[in-house]
Structure 1
């Protein structure tokens, strides 16, 4: 793998992103589905890869493209290595540049949201593990590890699925990454499509509080463009470029967060080796990215304490995260093995179908009873995230609450600070695979079932019975 190959592979990802953006602007279906450019670009890369273009070329009489497709095996090798690196950049910046709220403040607003979010996340494990133990393992021969694929693919998304590639390989289930990536793709598209269907149903049935039947996204929003009158700066210059390039400064902060995460991981691995020698090995399989997130949290506490000049710009961090995530998704989808999914198509569809039923059922049946006010606007964000990524939830909330008049956004944000370190790519997601490999699926199933029951009871019997706020901004007559 030469430096030229690495550089050219990165350039190709940039070209694919531009082509994908043009497709989004011109293709009506992509606009209706609000498909991100990275997903479109990844689909293009997949179609031009060995499993599609290579097989078509082979059927036409040439084996030149069998190994690497149109791009070649060297480019495919670079792309397959990128997700595990870039996911740490994404997670290291999750909390950088935003002030850590007081627990009491976050809990008061986000308590119901946390209960509902934990219900969705733990429920995905319960549904997946039960399906694996009762059907996938005894009938289709898949390992119990397959029970974690719903949460990894749906709640975690493409970045988490790609970032766990080495972990899947080390525990003897290399097909898990391809299945998780396929699950993430199904979840993302289904989340957006079903989310828009649910919003239309909510408008027609009067369950939305801010949206009426005549409110639709603008043409520019569907094309993924920002109208001139609504454009704002993508980031803020907090230091003078003559001293240091602001982008370089923020990249350095992300680098520090990742290094802190790596030191934490090495420390935990050393501690594990000292205590259990070779009888138990968990942190040896845990990837870097959830520890990089903890590194970012620790670094942000230091920044809150000493950064009087407020030089850390959240928007700049988000731009770096967005760039890394777009590149990650295209690289991951471009190296996805369709053969693995085809060989496990029935278990794959069972997992995806059960995950979809759980998320949709939780939104329709539990959200009205667990969220005391504006349940539709608040619940649709968690539904979108549980099916795809955070961006999916934000898109659906923006459609349902275009003027940001409900408490959906701050509640969702505070919930992220509490739930994100554990689920959706956090410590629980990262450790689930090695835990199942070491102890089996039943102990994790019991823990997740207990958490599910606790979250349900808290949401239904405590938060769900609290009266809705009486302020003009948040008052609402509950609709069940």
Structure 2
């Protein structure tokens, strides 16, 4: 595969992203569901590939028919399928870059209830998934017990995490798990938005919302199309912290990201070495860290870089807004590439397990929002909880979209509490260390040790929320 072909594949992926944005602006269902252009772009690529268009043409005209392999060649899909595993490191390296750590007391008091809620949602997805895998998927469908981790990987982790674990799935003998996880992430994003909007409308009608008095239909048309009106457009999407004749600000920020990823790689190599001379040594050694992906440690590397800059950089060279733009760019490419290169055959071959896991994940998240959130987040529970359910079923952006709809003028502490909660939550769930270790732990020790730990975390999340954080929030 030549550099020219890789470059051409990236250009075609960019064209798909523009097509996805065009659909968002002109196709009403996409506007009603607030579907990101990256998901629409990936869907277009999937439809034009060998799994859909190619299958139709082969059915009609045989293997030699025009477009029998689709309009997108397999070699281009090979390039796209490798992109997520690289880009996810960029996404996670930028999560904490430019984010100053607040005082712990404020984080604990404001985000504590949501952290309890988030841990309950994330750990519960493992509990539900492992039970389904152990008692239904493994005995009746022959799937490995690692299928029990698919709900958390797809729902809590999203497309980036699902695609980033592709090599881990393959190394552990469950290569189909990567496609199932990406498919699960797609179900999570769409269901998160759909059920989120349904819940927001329900909250308005029943008075649960402390802010809205009108249904979601009142959202401006330009917002539904994903546009920013001209009078609301910011002057800049990022700050110029250095003069471009010395170095472009974008180039400098790319260097910060590279530092974070390399530090994470150093951590991963050090952990692998420790394992090789301790519990992983010899023929009967247990390999856990060798299957851990790089991206959770790239996030830790970003935290290290941020702390070094906070301590030694007197010129404030790092601009958070510009870092967010780089993160968004990488995530758009990642999602579009992951969906476009998805194997529909794998999902079709495992349709019943896929549907069971998806429905169980949706039921768990919605059920916990309706029952647990109002009991542990008494102040503005609806606006604050809706962000968590969006994030736990899709990605952080889904949670932010739902919070923007539920609290358009930022009248509640939802955004601040959500941001603090993510700082503590993301290093572990949704692509963090727990997500990275879950598959090798199940592979080496079976599902029940992980099940026990996650069940304990669910109990801690519910218990601390009901008996500590709820009372803490009610204090004057």
TM-score, normalised to structure 2's length? 0.97
Matched residues in 2 for 1:464 and 1:315: separation?
A: 34
Whether 1:132 and 2:138 are equivalent positions in the alignment is: no
* Change in 2 beyond 3 A, CA 1:214/1:380: closer
The match for 1:328 is 334
* Change in 2 beyond 3 A, CA 1:355/1:175: same
Matched residues in 2 for 1:463 and 1:427: separation?
A: 25
* Change in 2 beyond 3 A, CA 1:214/1:389: closer
Q: Deviations over 1:45-83 (max 9, x none)?
A: 000111101111212325367885312121111111111
The match for 1:207 is 208
The match for 1:390 is 396
Matched residues in 2 for 1:106 and 1:456: separation?
A: 19
Is the contact made by 2:42 and 2:338 (CA closer than 8 Å) also made in structure 1? yes
Matched residues in 1 for 2:449 and 2:289: separation?
A: 18
Q: Which runs of 5+ in 2 are unaligned?
A: none
Whether 1:373 and 2:379 are equivalent positions in the alignment is: yes
The match for 1:405 is 411
For residue 352 of structure 1, the aligned residue among 358, 380, 393 is 358
Matched residues in 1 for 2:457 and 2:265: separation?
A: 29
Structure 1 residues 235-254: aligned runs within 5 Å: 235-254=238-257
Whether 1:60 and 2:60 are equivalent positions in the alignment is: yes
The 10-residue stretch of structure 1 (51-60 or 360-369) with the greater mean CA deviation from structure 2: 51-60
The match for 2:172 is 171
Matched residues in 1 for 2:346 and 2:215: separation?
A: 45
Structure 1 residues 224-243: aligned runs within 5 Å: 224-232=226-234, 233-243=236-246
Q: Deviations over 1:167-216 (max 9, x none)?
A: 00000000101111111111100000110000000001000001112672
Matched residues in 1 for 2:429 and 2:46: separation?
A: 28
Matched residues in 1 for 2:326 and 2:438: separation?
A: 28
Is the contact made by 1:373 and 1:469 (CA closer than 8 Å) also made in structure 2? no
Q: Deviations over 1:349-396 (max 9, x none)?
A: 000001000000000000000113100001000000011000000000
CA RMSD of aligned residues (A): 1.2
State the shift of 1:469 in Å.
Answer: 5.9
State the shift of 1:244 in Å.
Answer: 0.2
Q: Deviations over 1:279-327 (max 9, x none)?
A: 1101110111011011001111101101221110011111111111111
Is the contact made by 2:88 and 2:331 (CA closer than 8 Å) also made in structure 1? yes
Is the contact made by 2:84 and 2:334 (CA closer than 8 Å) also made in structure 1? yes
TM-score, normalised to structure 1's length? 0.96
Is the contact made by 1:377 and 1:400 (CA closer than 8 Å) also made in structure 2? yes
Matched residues in 2 for 1:381 and 1:193: separation?
A: 13
Is the contact made by 2:200 and 2:215 (CA closer than 8 Å) also made in structure 1? no
Matched residues in 2 for 1:18 and 1:29: separation?
A: 18
Is the contact made by 1:68 and 1:76 (CA closer than 8 Å) also made in structure 2? no
* Change in 2 beyond 3 A, CA 1:294/1:66: farther
State the shift of 1:250 in Å.
Answer: 0.3
The match for 1:46 is 46
What is the number of residues matched between the two proteins?
470
The match for 1:477 is none
State the shift of 1:102 in Å.
Answer: 2.4
Is the contact made by 1:68 and 1:74 (CA closer than 8 Å) also made in structure 2? no
The match for 1:74 is 75
Whether 1:218 and 2:220 are equivalent positions in the alignment is: yes
